[in-house]
Amino acid sequence: MFNEAQLYSPVTTDTDGDVTVHLSDEHPGVHDPAYRARRNAIAARALAYRRGEPTPRIEYTEDEQQVWRIASAELSRKHQRYASAEVLAGAHRLGLPRDHIPQLDEVSAQLVPLSGFRYVPAAGLVPLREFFGSFADRVFHSTQYIRHHSAPLYTPEPDAIHEIIGHANQLASPRFAAIYAEVGAAVTRLETDAALKFLADVFWFSMEFGVVRERGRVRCYGAGLLSSYGEIEEFRDAQLRPLNVYEMGTAAYDITHYQPVLYCAASISEIEDVVGGFFATVTDDIVAELTTAPSPAPGSRRPA
């Protein structure tokens, strides 16, 4: 699943049907039997879900609700200082609760009228072709588990806070949602793993870790930044480069550390033109051309 797979704890099902989430040795909850059992139970419900069925509702514990309240309050303050105006406007329209974890069907009920996107449950890693491809139907696969209560402002993997506070606030913008939909349409055209990886890396440096300049200041719009209490404070110290699809699709990066290089747009319109335009036109041949020809000029979608 390319580099992004390292972000998720693998989920397996044994011959008896028992579901296990395999946490890394560094995970804050790895030595907490109750947390591990909880993760297994939530993953099992997601694996049992079938499209068209009612979305599984999770009865969150008080510890989990408290984690959401802490993270939601702290991230909201960070957003007011560092998030782009487009994200803030979408978040205002979406109106996520801060006092409790919303169920995925509640998120969908608020999101569908704004951008047409709805949430379905995921146990953990969703294959990239399925994950990105579902955007064409305006479907977003979301985890439902919450990070360990010992570290409410940190997670080594995408949890419901990342999926909802990060992506749902972004998807509440019709302009950003349209870019997601172009990603989904692109996946139906791509046949090679190389092209899919290139698309995933451009998505990483834009919709996950993208920044934009507004009124002379750099603001974040990427879901990975919007949901990270630590990195949202640090992104202004990153090396900022202009949008360049070739660089974004070929750059080497470490997903386990703060990103030292980010690609900064001059406006939301430039994101739509350069990033959205790439997703709208990309094919296997275009990726092959991009990765074999000399590096194009900044902002180019194809080699000169």
Which sequence positions are flagged as catalytic?
162, 167, 208, 227
Q: In this structure, are residues 299 and 242 in contact, taking their beta carbons and an 8 Å threshold?
A: yes
Q: For strand 19-21 and strand 11-13, is the pairing parallel, antiparallel, or unpaired? A: antiparallel
Helix, strand, coil % over all residues of the chain, rounded to 5: 50, 10, 40
Q: In this structure, are residues 83 and 170 in contact, taking their beta carbons and an 8 Å threshold?
A: no
Closest CA to 84 of 247, 183, 223: 223
Tokens of 257: 């550390």
Closest CA to 129 of 178, 195, 222, 175: 195
DSSP string covering 14-71, please?
-TT--EEE---TT-TTTT-HHHHHHHHHHHHHHHH--TTSPPPPP---HHHHHHHHHH
Q: In this structure, are residues 268 and 281 in contact, taking their beta carbons and an 8 Å threshold?
A: no
CB-side neighbour CA atoms (13 Å) of 13: 11
Instruction: Count CB atoms within 10 A of the CB of residue 239.
Output: 10
3-class DSSP state of 230: coil
Which uninterrupted H or E stretch holds 114? Answer: helix 104-115
E strands in 41-172: 118-121, 139-142
